Structure 1
């Protein structure tokens, strides 16, 4: 497929009666050949047809205005082939813009339709590219759109001016500031758009590989488990056990049992080691270490029963 067919090598223009035989966009070469053979309108004819459309709603006049400018859409579409989208789709969107321009065109303004339609054609193609170039829309504000459609060409111009740096992909501080001045945007907006365009779409949950191995994707580390309902309930339960539940369970113990439990399990030393040993507590209360162990076991059992109400 040759998307750059030269109109100068084509046969003579068709007549209006043959215009309705334009092939569909599925055959792009044939379509481009056909639209380049459409008759061109003189300024007088253009004004006459535009007035018929405006004043009388003449659809045949509208069709002649559209058909005679289809070659303009093809020419504009070639400027956007570098975005990797099918030219047929670009032409189709540009044709929508052309039809909008014809509907709004005022022949008494003294402006040719080709100049007026250019804005509408580019606007529709721009919107199509922004919607389909990436899964996530990169440019939403006016400044971002301006950067999106000028960044690549200006970046290439910097490389052409400094061939010894042509291998460098990122913009220098001087180039960023120059681009910001040229486009009347902030330097940080240039940096942000460059990083957006340099990135690519990432599948959050990739399908398993052909060999059966499980594929790893961002979904594995982007999931927020902190706000998951079960995790929230578990955290609330832990907090209740560690505060109110533990305080009530300790309050149900006699002073000696509470002292033993606190010193054995709740008073952690600065070095991270545990509390007092059985022998240290035995010496404090004047009983054997075995007796301290028995008291501790009975106290822990009583506390578990008290904490069961919070489980």
Structure 2
């Protein structure tokens, strides 16, 4: 048996160490326009995995889409999704500047959009699947960024999303042209209200602060302790509860003095969240609807007079016809 000489061994070693195209750490092939070349190590493994899926021609894509739409062929749907995973990465790259955290989050949301596009795609409309899918991919990525830009959502309407991505761009454009990016000018250029520009600027430039965080480093008081309340003062709440209790007691006494018709109107029309109609009460007593209305008017006058004597401050709870506070 003859042995290889030193040069042959060296040559074989170099050949064995040769990196095959699909194993290259950057993964992106020169002929693969659907997969951008990246140097982020976190993407290497994922890109290597998705690069194994073969790209589809327009005819193959349409055929698979028809199979899935007509027959619910899950294998066809799987091929459509897997063949376009690189499209998700390419679209997500356009949003990377807005999401400086884990880039894989954007890819994950984009993949959800791709699946949704596969479900909704109509191959008979003559639209290219990649164009249609890119719309859904961008929509899901954009919604994810908007929902997670701050702990408190900035907004999810289409107009707010558009303003979110256009505001800073327009500011830089004005500065480059020698203009000061004032609110009025920005509102005119973006065709929005000045209040919308102010609100979005404040939200984009501000930082989230935990309500449990101290107001100062040397303080034990939390931020939430100093948040003003938009609701009624505690004194007003207590006073209101006391008035309702007193009113309830007075109405119990009044009910004893009422006849059957008046008592029903009071209990099932004036003091309930689901009042009976005049006609329903009229049918029960075999009288006209107009007669029930007259009884109700007289009852309200009787109640008002009674309560003004027994409880003068009840005027705040009475609007001349119906109880403002239900008892």
Distance 1:48 1:151, change over 3 A: same
1:78-89 superposed matches below 5 A: 78-83=93-98, 84-89=100-105
Distance 1:30 1:110, change over 3 A: same
Displacement of 1:221 in angstroms is 4.3
1:175 matched to which residue of 2?
Answer: 186
| CA displacement 1:75-109 (0-9 Å, x = unmatched) | 11112222334211111111000001011111111
| CA displacement 1:177-223 (0-9 Å, x = unmatched) | 2122xxxx33332232122211221222315988x742552532435
Displacement of 1:153 in angstroms is 2.7
Contact residue 97 and residue 124 of structure 1 kept, 8 A: yes
Give the Cα–Cα distance (whole angstroms) in 1 for the partners of residues 152 and 95 of structure 2.
19
Where does the alignment leave 5 or more consecutive residues of structure 2 unmatched? 1-24, 35-40, 243-327
Give the TM-score of the pair, scaled to structure 1. 0.58
The correspondence for 1:8, drawn from 9, 29, 39, is 29
The correspondence for 1:150, drawn from 163, 166, 187, is 166
Distance 1:225 1:105, change over 3 A: closer
Where does the alignment leave 5 or more consecutive residues of structure 1 unmatched? 14-25, 237-311
The correspondence for 2:127, drawn from 91, 94, 111, is 111
| CA displacement 1:42-86 (0-9 Å, x = unmatched) | 111011111111111111111111011111111111122223342
Give the Cα–Cα distance (whole angstroms) in 2 for the partners of residues 7 and 107 of structure 1.
29
Displacement of 1:137 in angstroms is 1.2
Between structure 1 and structure 2, the one with the greater Rg is 1
Give the Cα–Cα distance (whole angstroms) in 2 for the partners of residues 148 and 107 of structure 1.
33
Aligned: 1:128 with 2:144: yes
Aligned: 1:67 with 2:88: no
1:203 alignment partner, SS class: coil
Give the Cα–Cα distance (whole angstroms) in 2 for the partners of residues 154 and 38 of structure 1.
40
Aligned: 1:50 with 2:78: no
1:265-276 superposed matches below 5 A: none
2:29 alignment partner, SS class: helix
Aligned: 1:200 with 2:207: yes
Displacement of 1:232 in angstroms is 4.2
Displacement of 1:173 in angstroms is 3.3
2:234 matched to which residue of 1?
Answer: 228
1:86-97 superposed matches below 5 A: 86-97=102-113
| CA displacement 1:129-148 (0-9 Å, x = unmatched) | 12111111111333212111
